[in-house]
Amino acid sequence: MLELCSNRAMDGFPQPLPQTLQHARKARHLSQLELSLRIGVSQRHVSFVESGRARPSRELLTRWLQELGAPLALRNAALLQAGFAPSYRATTLDDPDLAQANAALQQLLRAHEPMPALVLDVQWNLLQLNRGGQWLAATLMPPEVLQPANGGPANLLDMLVHPMGLTRQLLNLREAGPAFLSQMRAEAALQPALAPKVEAFDALLRQRPSGRVPPAGRAVRQAPVLTLRFATPFGELAFFRMFTTFGTPQDITLASLRVEHMFAADEATDAVLRAQAG
């Protein structure tokens, strides 16, 4: 198990420890001075560690990564890069040790019916869908987008850039696209493996800045949350989203999971979902 966790921890983190720590700090928009004050060492020592001139102790490195709020997988990778054993397991979701957590996920998915809900991992792989989510996905995309040729799980970022994927039906891509891209870039700063998918989405937005634009001179009321508007055979469907994550997870798998809950943003969408997926 330790060897398996070690290999997983290094996936997507090929750079040496100094670069790993620099990227993690900059992703949190902290200066070396701010970080040094938080972890109780001198700015000079932070600079020496980030330049490779000094090697942190396990205790300091653990405190350093915790202060940065680094993902557990990155913490394991940094420990390995420093020559220490990793701290966190990477248990598969069907492992008996995660039975309670898996049951909680299933409960969340069922409780949200008929509204769509889905479970994503840190790579944006689509691991689970409730009935509402399955219906919406099948309504917006053809089967070949939902069933990758490699037999692995469908990936939400791949769905965004696929020619027949989610953005094809997204009416307000001009509004939603930059918000998605900002979120994706923030995550890619701590998960380098996401970078190619993020750049592919950026290229799509540059090539296709489409979406419905309000008429000139018309005042637009700013919604409290971003609403996604899709064109479907059932008319326009509008949703806003919320996310659920595990509190203080101690396993890499659980730390990577989030449940996306989609709520109807108007009565028409609510009626369609209740009729079609209820």
Domain residue extents for the chain: 2-81, 96-211+223-276
The confidence score (pLDDT) of residue 223 equals: 64
The confidence score (pLDDT) of residue 12 equals: 52
The confidence score (pLDDT) of residue 15 equals: 77
> What's the predicted TM-score (pTM) here?
0.80
The confidence score (pLDDT) of residue 211 equals: 44
Phi, psi for 250 (deg, rounded to 5): -120, 15
Q: Which residues of the chain have pLDDT under 50?
A: 1-10, 211-220
Residues 66, 72, 73, 77, Cα dihedral to 10°:
30
Q: Are 171 and 144 in contact (CB under 8 A)?
A: no
The confidence score (pLDDT) of residue 49 equals: 97
CA distances from 21 to 48, 68, 204 (A): 12, 9, 31
Fold entry, domain 2-81: 434 Repressor (Amino-terminal Domain) (1.10.260)
**Assigned architecture for domain 96-211+223-276:** 2-Layer Sandwich (3.30)
The confidence score (pLDDT) of residue 81 equals: 95
